[in-house]
Amino acid sequence: MLEVSSVYIPGWVETEEIAKIAESLAQIYSGIPYAVIAFLPEHKLKHIPSPDFRQMISAFEAAKDAGSRNVRLGNLGRFMKSMDEYEMLYAGCYLVACTYLLFKLVCESQVTEGFQTLSCGVIRIDDFFL
């Protein structure tokens, strides 16, 4: 099985590039699974941030508009920071185009030096086809 993945890297690979890749894929076959993955800042690229929620949604929509029918977003925990954002993803079918995945959002709230932070992650529970 073939799946094409692109890493969204702010300032390098953004919505415009994602759309061009999706258009090229759609010209071959619009059903090719295409994953738009959020960048994880590591090693010498720690100075580059992960994309935010808005950027990832924009890239997803651009890929769909370019003709790709089977688009999904990856590394959800890097850009999804609240239950509201998770619900928007689920309601808008941004997780997967044809396959719906059931996820459990796990959030941990911490108070450090008077500041409250919310750290969220996603656990895959099951998947099923509609």
Task: Identify the pLDDT of residue 77.
Answer: 78
**Local structure of 41: helix, strand or coil:** coil
Task: Identify the pLDDT of residue 15.
Answer: 97
Task: Identify the pLDDT of residue 86.
Answer: 75
Boundaries of every domain in the chain: 4-98
Residue among 70, 72, 75, 66 at smallest CA distance from 21: 66
Full-model pTM: 0.70
Task: Identify the pLDDT of residue 52.
Answer: 92
pLDDT mean over 4-19:
96
Mean pLDDT across the chain: 78
Half-sphere exposure of 98 (CA within 13 A, CB side): 9
DSSP 68-116: -SSEEEE-HHHH--SHHHHHHHHHTT-S-SSEEEEEEEEEEEEEETTEE
Say whether pLDDT at 2 is over 90. Answer: no
The residue that leads in pLDDT, 7 or 104, is 7
Residues 51-104: pLDDT tens digits? 999 999 999 999 999 999 889 888 877 887 777 887 777 766 665 443 444 445
